[in-house]
Structure 1
Amino acid sequence: MFTEVKYKVILKGMTSTTEKDILHGISGSASPGEVLALMGPSGCGKTTLLSILGGRINGNIIEGTITYNDEPYNKSLKRRIGFVTQDDVLFAHLTVRETLTYAALLRLPQTMSKQQKEERAMDVIYELGLERCQDTMIGGSFVRGISGGERKRVCIGNEIIINPSLLLLDEPTSGLDSTTALRIVQVLHDIAEAGKTVLTTIHQPSSRLFLKFDKLILLGKGSLLYFGKASEAMAYFQSIGCSPLIAMNPAEFLLDLANGNTNDISIPSELDDRVQTENLGSDTRNEKPTPKDVHEYLVEAYETRVANKEKKKLLAPLPISQDLKATVSSPKREWGASWWQQYSILFWRGLKERRHDYLSWMRITQVIATAFILGLLWWHSGSANPEGQQDQAGLLFFIAVFWGFFPVFTAIFTFPQERAMLKKERAVDMYKLSSYFMARTTSDLPLDLFLPVIFLLIVYFMAGLRQSIKPFFLTMLTVFLSIIAAQGLGLAIGATLMDIKKATTLASVTVMTFMLAGGFFVKGVPLFISWIRYISFNYHTYRLLLKVQYNHVPPSINVSNLDNGAKEVAALIAMIFGYRLLAYVSLRRMQL
């Protein structure tokens, strides 16, 4: 139940700060077994109201009362409220069954076994009619997958898997054809008939869809124009003098009214008299009511004829499902899985989702082709003379740069691309941010370290570097350290900026600077800028690779102060943890 809900936003200008009202005292209610539709033109406040009712927006800019079984909202209600966003936020490379199974493992209570959670996921698949596509990838912009209607049902399945008492949906039929949209609404009715309460925003439903809603809230410019049974909406507006002059879809008629468009709609005599009186003595005496006039008339009519009666009904106690009542009475916050379980589930989910990108034929071909080109250019290069030594130093520096550049520009996309998913899943307390961060940063490692092994197996022996086991494995270990450090830099840049274009620009400048300060191009770096080399992973990686190849670095390479390599290893390890700590702090500050 919600009464007199008001919402405003603060607009900060160059010289002053103003407040803009979005919702003007909206009241309504919904009971178990009912489907309540929020209708109105674009920008009228439907999604804002739905977000407020779902606890997605809070703060001092909200006024009014919102209760769930006569109790205010608290964080423990998150596990009893399902919220389906308008955008289908799903992982493209996971199948339908994998998507719902991971949701079940993370969201269902710890008292359930893994097998019970997996069975619940299958129950939802059959409940939503997804059994035919359960082993098909979700798909996306570049991946062929399931249809739009099936994607929407998967999104609904992600929420009903917890058997919510209250299900909220933001335009679930958007972009779907009428037949598919009707099936989605029928699914919502089936959910409601099971004793659940369903609230959904909808833009312009067909007449068949409209007749399936139990209750209706019609909004116009943030004001309440009608609240009551959907089947009685037409009769109400006819009672205040607004009737369609031609055969019209009821939803189309209501949206025309909410927009203030009176074409093909009769004008109430009271409104017409008011307009004529206001225009008396002017040249626009026969002018039709403006949209503003229509809006004011509809708001006034609702306030005088319906509002008080509906508010009295709201004061009467509403039946609420007992599981919601039990949840409200136990405000303790609970997680569906322990920290370690969250980490394990997210680790394997991340591995399955990203293996297709990391191990794509394009990426594998790129790495193998580069390796063969390097092997041919440095074919059996020798270190017996200064020229050969300088050539090998150039190869080692390129390896340091290549496996510093590659991971950075892969990792910067990590958090910006998953921001919507992270925000959606964190909003319902699916997992802790720390478990997600650890799983996300470690699930990449097996994939990140696969291609360098292939790369080094080709380059190392074709180029004629030290032909023994120890130098080879030390070279591989050095490259691994470089990759993990570079990946940490990419994660930190991406998490700090959360904008792919800005992150790519900053990463380009940073990587170029680290490369130039890496000790190969410029030996005598001025003192006032020489500190850059010490924060460059290219610099430390290059020195370690030289140390591995030459017990005593030849004078022709001109690298000084290279001892046992402990300082370089320590510097790379510090970068590995330091950059990741910065990335985590940045995510935490964003309150995701």
Structure 2
Amino acid sequence: MDQEMVDIESQNEENPEPDILHKGKKPVILKFDDVVYKIKAKKGGILEKSREEKEILKGVTGVVQPGEMLAMLGPSGSGKTTLLTALGGRLGGKLYGSITYNGEAFSNAIKRNTGFVTQDDVLYPHLTVTETLVFTALLRLPNNITKEEKVEHAKSVIDQLGLIKCKDSIVGSPYLRGVSGGERKRVSIGQELLINPSLLFLDEPTSGLDSTTAQRIVSTLWELSRGGRTVVMTIHQPSSRLYYLFHKVLLLSEGNTLYFGKGSEAIEYFSNIGYAPALAMNPSDFLLDLANGIYTDELNVDHTIDKQKLISVCKRNLEAQLKPVVHQGTSDSNRSHSRFQETGSTKKWPTSWCQQFIVLLRRDVKERKYESFSALRICQVLVVALISGLLWYKSDISHLQDQIGLLFFISGFWGFFPLFQAIFTFPQELMMLEKERSSGMYRLSSYFMSRMVADLPMELVLPTIFLLIAYWMAGLKANVVNFLCTLLSLLLNVLVSQGLGLAIGAVVMDQKSATTLASVIMLCFLLAGGFYVQHVPKFIAWIKYISISYYTYQLFIGSQYNQGDMYPCPNGQCPVAEFPSIEHMGVHFELHGQLIAASALAVMLIGYRLIAYLALMRIGVIKSAA
């Protein structure tokens, strides 16, 4: 093992990379021996509780040296992505066997030196290519590198991957025009190259790309492997040009190994056991046919073959040739067929909490401003504000019922609007959060706090504009103090409703189910708010004490009317406090009563966000234990 490392490091010295991160980086020898992965699958219908255990990987063995690029081939469902995820240290559950990195188990030190590119390009659509890579560099690169060096390093990666022409273009999405699919894939690869990983994993890097773009990406990865990196990828059906770039090939079928070795020797290997290609064809097509149990003879007739024979022959060859290499330098405890456990040093983040918070806050504001201030949302708010102002135009205290109706409508509208905007926050960002957290980019707390702070100005501007229009048109109290009290009550209502949406979205994590649940909860809050039903039975009256609408309505009434205010009634002038819609609610006009309502909303504001944070923590725990 030590001699292998000396030889590899000497090769890297002959071909140095001008990279601020290259110094001190160790090449990684990846070995995996008899890797088995099992899951419990449901058996029977939805009401069936019994589960059967299913083996996804069935004793896969291999070794990849620095400077080599391994391609995992196989039909869909063969276990390629599962094996890649296991090798990348991102697979929990019943994983058995031995996976070592320079003879050691997976640790946080290895994690910081590993890049993992998922099949789906999970990127923020409104950020430019440069912004995407710079923000990633600021978060992932350690503090011993200055901010200026991090930015320059991001620019050098852009140049290395040929992204200069599109560096100022937004990444885009299926619904937003941006860079091309190949460029988007290179941006994803660039995010991992920023840490100059010694070990790079890629899941289907050529999926959905044309042959020319796929060739360019794999050629780039081949060049990266020449720099001393260990590159492992899954690929479904590469062209012959791509195939001959792979140093090693692992052919899987239903979790079993059919071939492991040099890509150039695969055809000869199968020819020696009686399966030579009858026609000149792409080697990967021939291998995939065998993995599917099909062999085409000289007459171009397909025959079903016994895959068990291929599995047995491969197992004997691996036992004789590969096992000694894998076991070299590996302790007996690592080779034992026991559950794979993560060991390593204490978790250490590349940057401080404050640095993570500031960078994430800047990124959130840049990305979220397009959604928060979209033309559709602005038009919605302006139209509703104008219609409200016109319907309640110049209503005064002589139309007390109308004014109270307006206040309740405002509390209801700005309860639903931010609620349904916030519900989608975490379900939509779950893939991004999992991707970045699994690479050790930042703490969950810094992400959560930056998200909350970034939302504040963007979520509070539109309700302020709404009230500026509707308040003065509707003829509510033309007094700055009353207006400010109403505005503060409205903003508090918005923040609490948003917190409820965040909590429901984080707990349920299914957009359709979360929307249905939120509708039911908010309707219950509205009905218990005291406007629609004034004589609520005692056995269900408790709902009002957890209703956002109830406390907001109280604050609105208190911000507009005082204890001594009078309104015209059949008996002449009557106290506002005795108006039925107000009296039955038990509104307290004095400061003490208003503070109680505000305090209740403040508790909800913190409580709902705490529930959302704990739900996100729980998801992280489940993912790591799954």
TM-score above 0.5, yes or no: yes
Amino acid at match of 1:589: R
User: Are 2:96 and 1:63 aligned?
Assistant: yes
Query: In the alignment, is the contact (CA less than 8 A) between 2:294 and 2:302 conserved in 1?
Result: no
Give 2:311's aligned residue: 299
Query: In the alignment, is the contact (CA less than 8 A) between 2:33 and 2:61 conserved in 1?
Result: yes
Instruction: Tell me how far apart the structure 2 counterparts of residues 472 and 17 of structure 1 sit (CA, whole Å).
Output: 61
Kindly state the Cα deviation for residue 337 of structure 1 after the two structures are TM-superposed.
1.3
Describe how 1:376-525 pairs up with structure 2 within 5 A: 376-383=390-397, 385=398, 388-525=399-536
User: Are 2:354 and 1:340 aligned?
Assistant: yes
CA shift digits 1:90-134 (9 cap, x unpaired): 111111111111111111111111111111111111111111111
Instruction: Tell me how far apart the structure 2 counterparts of residues 455 and 242 of structure 1 sit (CA, whole Å).
Output: 74
Kindly state the Cα deviation for residue 313 of structure 1 after the two structures are TM-superposed.
3.0
The 3-state SS of whatever aligns with 1:262 is strand
CA shift digits 1:227-277 (9 cap, x unpaired): 11111111111111111112211100010011111134799xxxxxxxxxx
Kindly state the Cα deviation for residue 453 of structure 1 after the two structures are TM-superposed.
1.4
User: Are 2:323 and 1:311 aligned?
Assistant: yes
Kindly state the Cα deviation for residue 558 of structure 1 after the two structures are TM-superposed.
2.9
Pick from 540, 550, 554: which aligns with 2:561? Answer: 550
Instruction: Tell me how far apart the structure 1 counterparts of residues 284 and 152 of structure 2 sit (CA, whole Å).
Output: 40
Give 1:321's aligned residue: none
Give 2:542's aligned residue: 531
Query: In the alignment, is the contact (CA less than 8 A) between 2:108 and 2:344 conserved in 1?
Result: no
Instruction: Tell me how far apart the structure 2 counterparts of residues 330 and 579 of structure 1 sit (CA, whole Å).
Output: 35
Query: In the alignment, is the contact (CA less than 8 A) between 1:105 and 1:345 conserved in 2?
Result: yes
The 3-state SS of whatever aligns with 2:64 is coil
Structure 1 residues 123 and 266, CA gap change in structure 2 (3 angstroms): farther
Query: In the alignment, is the contact (CA less than 8 A) between 1:35 and 1:198 conserved in 2?
Result: yes
Describe how 1:360-379 pairs up with structure 2 within 5 A: 360-379=374-393
Describe how 1:324-339 pairs up with structure 2 within 5 A: 331-339=345-353
Query: In the alignment, is the contact (CA less than 8 A) between 2:294 and 2:303 conserved in 1?
Result: no
The 3-state SS of whatever aligns with 1:449 is helix
Query: In the alignment, is the contact (CA less than 8 A) between 1:8 and 1:21 conserved in 2?
Result: yes
Kindly state the Cα deviation for residue 519 of structure 1 after the two structures are TM-superposed.
1.2
Instruction: Tell me how far apart the structure 2 counterparts of residues 424 and 329 of structure 1 sit (CA, whole Å).
Output: 21
The 3-state SS of whatever aligns with 1:438 is helix
Instruction: Tell me how far apart the structure 1 counterparts of residues 226 and 302 of structure 2 sit (CA, whole Å).
Output: 45
Give 1:47's aligned residue: 81
- Cα RMSD over matched residues? 1.9
Q: Which moved more, 1:71-80 or 1:43-52?
A: 71-80
Unmatched tracts of structure 1, length 5 or more: 268-286, 319-327
Give 1:273's aligned residue: none
Query: In the alignment, is the contact (CA less than 8 A) between 1:242 and 1:265 conserved in 2?
Result: no
User: Are 2:381 and 1:357 aligned?
Assistant: no
Give 1:168's aligned residue: 201
The 3-state SS of whatever aligns with 2:504 is helix
CA shift digits 1:265-306 (9 cap, x unpaired): 799xxxxxxxxxxxxxxxxxxx98644x2x111112222345
Give 1:260's aligned residue: 293
Query: In the alignment, is the contact (CA less than 8 A) between 2:296 and 2:302 conserved in 1?
Result: no
CA shift digits 1:389-442 (9 cap, x unpaired): 111111111111111111100111011111111111111111111111111122
Amino acid at match of 2:359: I
Pick from 37, 40, 44: which aligns with 1:10? Answer: 40
Give 1:284's aligned residue: none
Instruction: Tell me how far apart the structure 1 counterparts of residues 285 and 599 of structure 2 sit (CA, whole Å).
Output: 68
Pick from 180, 193, 210: which aligns with 1:147? Answer: 180
Describe how 1:227-238 pairs up with structure 2 within 5 A: 227-238=260-271
Instruction: Tell me how far apart the structure 2 counterparts of residues 436 and 304 of structure 1 sit (CA, whole Å).
Output: 50
Kindly state the Cα deviation for residue 472 of structure 1 after the two structures are TM-superposed.
1.0
Describe how 1:121-132 pairs up with structure 2 within 5 A: 121-132=154-165
Give 2:620's aligned residue: 591
Give 2:148's aligned residue: 115
Query: In the alignment, is the contact (CA less than 8 A) between 1:36 and 1:198 conserved in 2?
Result: yes
Kindly state the Cα deviation for residue 312 of structure 1 after the two structures are TM-superposed.
2.3
Amino acid at match of 1:391: D
Instruction: Tell me how far apart the structure 1 counterparts of residues 346 and 520 of structure 2 sit (CA, whole Å).
Output: 48
Query: In the alignment, is the contact (CA less than 8 A) between 2:296 and 2:303 conserved in 1?
Result: no
The 3-state SS of whatever aligns with 1:29 is strand
Instruction: Tell me how far apart the structure 2 counterparts of residues 248 and 519 of structure 1 sit (CA, whole Å).
Output: 77
Describe how 1:254-293 pairs up with structure 2 within 5 A: 254-264=287-297, 290-291=304-305, 293=306
User: Are 2:611 and 1:582 aligned?
Assistant: yes
Instruction: Tell me how far apart the structure 2 counterparts of residues 104 and 558 of structure 1 sit (CA, whole Å).
Output: 57
Query: In the alignment, is the contact (CA less than 8 A) between 2:84 and 2:234 conserved in 1?
Result: yes
The 3-state SS of whatever aligns with 1:590 is helix
Kindly state the Cα deviation for residue 10 of structure 1 after the two structures are TM-superposed.
2.1
Amino acid at match of 1:116: E
Give 1:573's aligned residue: 602
Structure 1 residues 572 and 330, CA gap change in structure 2 (3 angstroms): closer
Query: In the alignment, is the contact (CA less than 8 A) between 1:107 and 1:336 conserved in 2?
Result: yes
Amino acid at match of 2:349: W
Instruction: Tell me how far apart the structure 1 counterparts of residues 429 and 510 of structure 2 sit (CA, whole Å).
Output: 11
Instruction: Tell me how far apart the structure 2 counterparts of residues 266 and 219 of structure 1 sit (CA, whole Å).
Output: 27
Give 1:248's aligned residue: 281
Amino acid at match of 2:620: Q
Instruction: Tell me how far apart the structure 1 counterparts of residues 535 and 279 of structure 2 sit (CA, whole Å).
Output: 85
Pick from 98, 105, 114: which aligns with 1:72? Answer: 105
Amino acid at match of 1:51: T
Instruction: Tell me how far apart the structure 1 counterparts of residues 327 and 528 of structure 2 sit (CA, whole Å).
Output: 72
Instruction: Tell me how far apart the structure 1 counterparts of residues 394 and 321 of structure 2 sit (CA, whole Å).
Output: 91
Query: In the alignment, is the contact (CA less than 8 A) between 1:215 and 1:227 conserved in 2?
Result: yes
Give 2:19's aligned residue: none
Query: In the alignment, is the contact (CA less than 8 A) between 2:138 and 2:150 conserved in 1?
Result: yes
Instruction: Tell me how far apart the structure 2 counterparts of residues 368 and 23 of structure 1 sit (CA, whole Å).
Output: 57
Kindly state the Cα deviation for residue 351 of structure 1 after the two structures are TM-superposed.
1.2
Structure 1 residues 237 and 11, CA gap change in structure 2 (3 angstroms): same
Unmatched tracts of structure 2, length 5 or more: 1-30, 331-341, 564-575, 622-626
Kindly state the Cα deviation for residue 329 of structure 1 after the two structures are TM-superposed.
12
Instruction: Tell me how far apart the structure 2 counterparts of residues 21 and 399 of structure 1 sit (CA, whole Å).
Output: 57
Give 2:215's aligned residue: 182
Give 1:278's aligned residue: none
Q: How many residues align?
A: 558
Instruction: Tell me how far apart the structure 2 counterparts of residues 338 and 477 of structure 1 sit (CA, whole Å).
Output: 34
Query: In the alignment, is the contact (CA less than 8 A) between 2:107 and 2:344 conserved in 1?
Result: no
